[in-house]
Structure 1
Amino acid sequence: MSDAMRDQLLKTGLVDEKQVKKARSEQHKGKKKTKKPKKAAPPAAEPTAAEQRQAEQAERSRRKNEERQARAARKALTAQLRELVNSNLYPVPSGNDAEDYHFQQGGRIRSLPVTPALRRQLADGRAAIAGLDHRPEAGFRLVPRETADRIRERDPQWPLVIPAEEAADSEPAADDPYADYVVPDDLMW
Structure 2
Amino acid sequence: MVKNALQAQLLKAGLVDKQKAKKLSKQAAHEKRTGDSNEAEMKAKIAQEQQEKQARDQAIEQEKKALLQEKELKAAIVQMINQHKIGQTDGDSVYQFIDQNKIKKVYINQQIYNALVAGSLVVAKDNDSYAFLPKPLADRMNSKMEGFIIVNNSEKNEQITEEEDPYAAYVIPDDLMW
Q: Which band: TM-score by shorter chain?
A: 0.5 to 0.7
SS of corresponding position for 1:55? helix
- Are residues 1:83 and 2:79 paired? yes
Pick one of 102, 111, 115 that aligns with 1:117: 111
Instruction: Confirm or deny: 8 A CA contact 1:92 1:113 kept in the other structure.
Output: no
Give structure 2 stretches of 5+ with no counterpart: 1-39, 171-178
CA distance in 2, matches of 1:141, 1:80: 15
1:18-167, aligned counterparts within 5 Å? 48-94=44-90, 97-132=91-126, 138-167=128-157
CA distance in 2, matches of 1:141, 1:102: 14
Aligned letter for 2:151? V
Larger radius of gyration: 1
RMSD across aligned C-alpha pairs, in angstroms? 2.9
Instruction: Confirm or deny: 8 A CA contact 1:148 1:160 kept in the other structure.
Output: no
Looking at both structures, which has the greater relative contact order when contacts are Cα pairs under 8 Å and sequence separation is at least 6?
A: 1
Q: Count residues with an aligned counterpart.
A: 129
| C-alpha displacement of 1:45 | 7.5
TM-score by length of 2: 0.60
Give structure 1 stretches of 5+ with no counterpart: 1-43, 181-189
Q: Report the equivalent of 1:32.
A: none
SS of corresponding position for 1:117? helix
Q: Report the equivalent of 1:5.
A: none
Aligned letter for 2:117? A
Quick one: percent identity of the two aligned structures?
19
| C-alpha displacement of 1:117 | 0.8
SS of corresponding position for 2:89? coil
| C-alpha displacement of 1:75 | 0.8
CA distance in 2, matches of 1:57, 1:81: 36
CA distance in 2, matches of 1:108, 1:169: 24
1:112–1:158 CA distance, 2 compared to 1 (3 A): same
| Cα deviation 1:121-171 (Å, max 9, x = unaligned) | 1112221111125xxxx3321111121111112123433311232244258
CA distance in 2, matches of 1:49, 1:92: 69
Q: Report the equivalent of 2:12.
A: none
| Cα deviation 1:13-46 (Å, max 9, x = unaligned) | xxxxxxxxxxxxxxxxxxxxxxxxxxxxxxx679
